[in-house]
A = this chain, B = another copy of it.
């Protein structure tokens, strides 16, 4: 029906829960709202439970379903593999896909250990030489206000950075009746708050500042060590505390990951930083809060008001200086040209659309997308340093 002559890239996505839903939406919307050099085709959805996979495929327009991810990555009609499974399976799938010559988008965290992440980076580097691209899914970089923050820093409007404070605050574990899930098991998730949400603020602050975290001093805590096993349930899986288990009992399960992690950090440019990642911050639902103070200005962001960036310009006359509440919905703002008129807000899932757009554009332009697997490894190394420091009485630990 259309005369679309752009090249087409077949997408194969593995996983269909929370992230699978968000990614499906992103792939589809990228094509609807942006002028893309490469048209994504929602070709194959990979999932072990065939009925649930079909249900998600039907809802989002995936053309086919594969229950074996190996079959998926080897299909000729697949040019890109999107890995949306829990972290423990990332290395195997991503490496296999890269070796099969497929571009890879891998959800964060890249892996559950530094060693695994290093193997993935190696695979990515090898693939890169063959023109095969890879990216890790730190989608919050694609929130327009976050990208604007990064741009202002890069333009020098914040100056030399002295302070970073970053928190990722949720409260879904405050209720002791919230059941066990794979996110609370070390074997599956690698870590708890630290890897799930702490990873985001590590990546975001490194992204925005353009600097690296060179060392940390940390504490970790598990407030609730036992939780009821969940009821089995179905659904589109777009919730965090979802009922994904198989057990039907009211037995208790052991929480083997951290509920909260706090750490101090030093950035390569000398800035002092405080970090906090927790699922026990009563009243805070998904508060990714980042503040940066520099010699020339300051920034503040809170994902619970995600269309806004607060910016203080120290060059303004002090009589009229103040944090500006920038409503990041102008056509001049990152990604906004494609969306609605000013003042018409974007939501959580838009980041996934922007991720798809950026990745497809990089592939079409034959260059490496960001964040790279190396970026993902760097985050992993910070998380590992946090864990080491927490077990050594908070001793300073170089990343």
Q: Are B274 and A276 in contact (CB under 8 A)?
A: yes
Q: Are B285 and A327 in contact (CB under 8 A)?
A: yes
Which residues of A273-292 are within 8 A (CB) of B? 273-274, 276, 278, 280-287
Q: Kindly report how many copies of this chain are found in the complex they form together.
A: 4
Given A318-B332, A324-B324, A348-B345, decide whether A219 and B286 contact each other with a Cβ distance below 8 A: no
* Closest chain B residue, CB of each to CB of A309: B322
By a CB distance below 8 angstroms, the chain B residues around A129 are none
Binds B, one of A90-98, A258-266, A372-380: A258-266
By a CB distance below 8 angstroms, the chain B residues around A312 are 282-283
Given A262-B264, A263-B264, A293-B282, decide whether A346 and B348 contact each other with a Cβ distance below 8 A: yes
A372 CB → nearest B CB, Å: 26
Give the complex CA separation of A206 and B285 in angstroms: 26
Contact with B along A195-228 (1 / 0, CB 8 A): 0000000000000000000000111010100000
Contact with B along A305-326 (1 / 0, CB 8 A): 1110111111011111111111
Number of interface residues of A (CB under 8 A): 113
A161 CB → nearest B CB, Å: 10
By a CB distance below 8 angstroms, the chain B residues around A162 are 223, 260, 278, 280-282
Given A162-B223, A264-B219, decide whether A297 and B282 contact each other with a Cβ distance below 8 A: yes
Q: A116 at the A/B interface (Cβ < 8 Å)?
A: no
Q: Are A54 and B325 in contact (CB under 8 A)?
A: no
Give the complex CA separation of A198 and B357 in angstroms: 36
A172 CB → nearest B CB, Å: 7
A353 CB → nearest B CB, Å: 11
Q: A186 at the A/B interface (Cβ < 8 Å)?
A: no
Q: Are B295 and A174 in contact (CB under 8 A)?
A: yes
By a CB distance below 8 angstroms, the chain B residues around A313 are 320
**A–B Cβ pairs within 8 angstroms, 13 of them:** A1-B58, A2-B58, A162-B280, A217-B264, A236-B338, A241-B341, A264-B264, A284-B343, A285-B344, A311-B320, A347-B350, A393-B395, A394-B396
Considering the complex of A and B, which 4 residue pairs feature the smallest CB-CB distances, nearest first? A286-B343, A285-B343, A283-B312, A347-B347
